[in-house]
Amino acid sequence: MAQGWAPPLGVVATLPGPADFPAWRQAARRLVAAGIPPERTEWVVEGELPGLLAEAPPPEAPAKPFSVPRAFLDQAEIAIRHSDPARFALLYALLWRLVQGERHLMQAATDPAVIRLAALAKAVRRDAHKMHAFLRFREVQAADGPRHVAWFEPDHHIEEAEADFFLRRFAALRWSIVTPRRSVAWDGQALAFGPGGRRADVPPDDAMEPLWRAYYAAIFNPARLKPAAMRAEMPRKYWRNLPEAAEIPRLMAEAPRRVAAMVAQAAPNPRPQDRRHLSPHPGATHLSRAMGVAPAMTMPIDAHPDPERALAALREELLARPDLPDFASRATQPVFGEGPVGAALFILGEQPGDEEDISGRPFVGPAGRLLDRALIQAGLDRGQAYVTNAVKHFKFTPTGKRRLHQSPDAGDITYYRPFLAREIAAVAPRLVVAMGASALLAATGRKLPVLKTRGQVVPGLTGPPVFATIHPSYMLRLPDPDAQAEAFQGFVADLLAARGQAG
């Protein structure tokens, strides 16, 4: 601490941006080192007027090293993007308590500050999900060629954090995203951030709008219409930016008549093998990518007459894709599923690991060997099941000679989901066994808690139902051998139950 310096009555910590977590972290470390408690600290963003306090931050002081739980950092990095002006103070108050001896604070599920932090992070994640789902690009002709422009109104400061998601999905396009606070642009070489804009800066439609509306109407399923659930997932605030929203009132009004017609035309007791699913027409895939959404999972049209050829074509398409996520370029190769077409069980994991990436085969590493043991104990022949992963490339963080597994995010799962849907359609299993949270999200489209859902059969996004269970790697991470043994027996019991469900 500087000689002669004493803690003032209050200090102002100024941040360069509203969601700059590294800057907040650096300032917070300085404040902790200077012994400034939360009640004597005011946080402002550069350009904003300070409030009650007007003194400068303390001078640089040698900071004593300290550590905080990873759970705090993970949530804080997301929660700082919230629009609540009190978010900085909340984060610092929690940090202060952690440093002052409340080491297990993040495990206190009833603590008001911990609850508030979780609520902020949840709201930010939901806002990011809505941006992924409801942002629509419109094509405009610029002097140097076509550019795709989108307008979105986020509730929170998520523009910079979510830019990588759109870069991964639309690296081949030149695009701009305009929001009231911030703009993001990709010119094919680098991302650029600028000030916000107005909705009038983005064209209301383009030449593909009628095609998109026709596509949405074609895939709309009146038998699954649930207006309350639809409005919960697609709040009306987003409708004015969605080309398909103009079709929703008409489609809802026609739904009862269309359902009655479907029932009248349906064949009695259709056989499972008569249900066929295939991916959308290539034009629909191109359209959905240009509009900023994932192509539809499946459409009720005739499947490829030769499922083996359909799987081979799927592999060739993935190998040739120019828009793979960046981590795919670092992987050795894509890892496809293996097993017989028509297998009763479709066993779905998260993504390939290190050994799978090298060998090109799914589940040959430690988790795979544990899966093989469990299948044997459950009386199942792995050769009679189809085994694959939701994500087809190994996502990892390089650390020296080792490659540390990195869990795929929701964007990664969304990218590979159309491939998974076509894989399921070609294999035509009776049951999908989703092992772990990522597999469950990929197969159902919902973030379901694995430990609460395990052993249950839930609807899948396409084709067969989904049976939830843990991932073998979960057992490998348990430090207690007794806990591992207990978890393994529970996993075997789940496989036995899945076997019974599949018949």
Domain holding 321: CATH number? 3.40.470.10
Task: Tell me which of 196 and 232 has the higher pLDDT.
Answer: 196
Chain centroid to Cα 426, Å, comes to: 25
Question: Which residues neighbour 315 within 8 Å (Cβ) at sequence distance 6 or greater?
Answer: 334, 336
* Domain membership flag for residue 230: yes
Q: Is the pLDDT of residue 300 over 70?
A: no
Do 381 and 466 share a domain, yes or no? yes
**What's the whole-number mean pLDDT along residues 52-71?**
67
Specify whether the CB–CB gap between 198 and 181 falls below 8 A: no
CA distances for 502 relative to 85, 342, 370, 374, angstroms:
52, 12, 22, 17
Average pLDDT over residues 283-299: 39
CB 170 within 8 A of CB 183: no
The 8-class DSSP code of residue 278 comes to: B
Q: Let me know whether 305 and 335 are in one domain.
A: yes
Co-location of 343 and 460 in the same domain: yes
- At position 304, the amino acid (one-letter code) is H
In which band, very low, low, confident or very high, does the pLDDT at 169 lie, cut at 50, 70 and 90? confident
Alpha helices, DSSP H, located in 65-223: 70-79, 87-99, 112-134, 159-169, 209-219
Checking if the pLDDT of 377 tops 70, the result is yes
In a domain, 45, yes or no: yes
Q: What range defines the domain where residue 157 resides?
A: 135-201
Q: Are residues 384 and 327 in the same domain?
A: yes
Task: Determine, yes or no, domain membership for 459.
Answer: yes
Distance CA 407, CA 332 (A): 17
pLDDT band with cut points at 50, 70 and 90 for residue 423: very high
Contacts of 499 (CB under 8 A, 6+ apart): 345, 378, 379, 380
Asked whether residue 496 carries a pLDDT value surpassing 90, the answer given is yes
SS3 403: strand
Residue 224 has pLDDT above 70, yes or no: no
User: Which of these, 350, 314, 316, lies nearest to 424 by C-alpha position?
Assistant: 314
Q: What's the pLDDT at 255? A: 77
User: What's the mean pLDDT in 272-286?
Assistant: 39
CA distance 350 to 392: 9
Which of 358, 346, 355 shows the shortest CA–CA distance to 390? Answer: 346
- pLDDT of 371 over the 90 cut: yes
Say yes or no: 104 and 157 in one domain. Answer: no
User: Is the confidence at residue 399, as pLDDT, over 90?
Assistant: no
Pair 180, 294 in one domain: no
Give the Cα-Cα-Cα angle 116, 81, 452 (nearest 5 degrees).
50
Is residue 151 helix, strand or coil? strand
Specify if 1 maps to a domain: no
- Residue 262 pLDDT class (50, 70, 90 cuts): low
Alpha-carbon distance 349 to 442, whole Å? 10
Lowest-pLDDT range of 117-126, 366-375, 477-486: 477-486
Q: Do 417 and 484 share a domain, yes or no?
A: yes
Among 407, 416, 493, 423, which residue's Cα sits nearest to residue 464?
423
pLDDT of residue 369: 93
Whether residues 216 and 143 share a domain: the answer is no
| Mean pLDDT score across all residues of the chain | 82
Listed residues 112, 129, 146: the one ending a domain? 129
The reply to whether 45 and 194 lie within a common domain is: no
Grade residue 269 by pLDDT with cuts at 50, 70 and 90: very low
User: In this prediction, what percent of the chain has a pLDDT beyond 90?
Assistant: 50
Instruction: Specify whether the CB–CB gap between 170 and 185 falls below 8 A.
Output: no
Shared-domain flag, residues 389 and 418: yes
pLDDT score for 372 = 93
**Which of 184-193, 297-306, 490-499 has the lowest average pLDDT?**
297-306
Amino acid identity of 64?
K
**Does 315 fall in a domain?**
yes
pLDDT at residue 294 is higher than 50: no
Give me the mean pLDDT over the 178-191 stretch.
92
Confirm whether 57 is domain-assigned: yes
Are 252 and 279 in the same domain? no
Please tell me the distance from the alpha carbon of residue 342 to that of residue 457, in angstroms, as a whole number: 20
Cα separations in angstroms, 500 against 431, 439, 467, 468, 495:
10, 21, 11, 14, 9
Find the mean pLDDT for residues 124-128.
91
CA gap 345, 128 in Å, rounded: 34
Q: Report the predicted TM-score, pTM, of the whole model to 2 decimal places.
A: 0.50
Least confident range from 203-212, 418-427, 467-476: namely 203-212
Given 153, 180, 201, the domain boundary residue is 201
Q: How confident is the model at residue 319 (pLDDT cuts 50, 70, 90)?
A: confident
Check residues 320 and 185 and name the one with the higher pLDDT. 185
Structural domain ending residue among the three candidates 201, 227, 254: 201
**Sorting pLDDT into bands at 50, 70 and 90, what band is 272?**
very low
Tally of structural domains, the chain: 4
pLDDT-derived band of residue 205, with 50, 70 and 90 as boundaries? low
Residue 292 has pLDDT above 70, yes or no: no
Is residue 269 assigned to a domain? Answer: no
**Cα(290)–Cα(284) distance, rounded to whole angstroms?**
10
- 280 and 296 in contact (C-beta within 8 Å)? yes
Phi, psi of 440 (to 5 degrees): -65, -40
Is 2 a domain residue? no
| Residue 411 shares a structural domain with residue 302 | yes
Confidence of residue 232 (pLDDT cuts 50, 70, 90): low
Pairing label, strands 145-151, 137-142: antiparallel
Instruction: Decide: residue 265, CB within 10 A, 0-12 exposed, 13-18 middle, 19+ buried.
Output: exposed
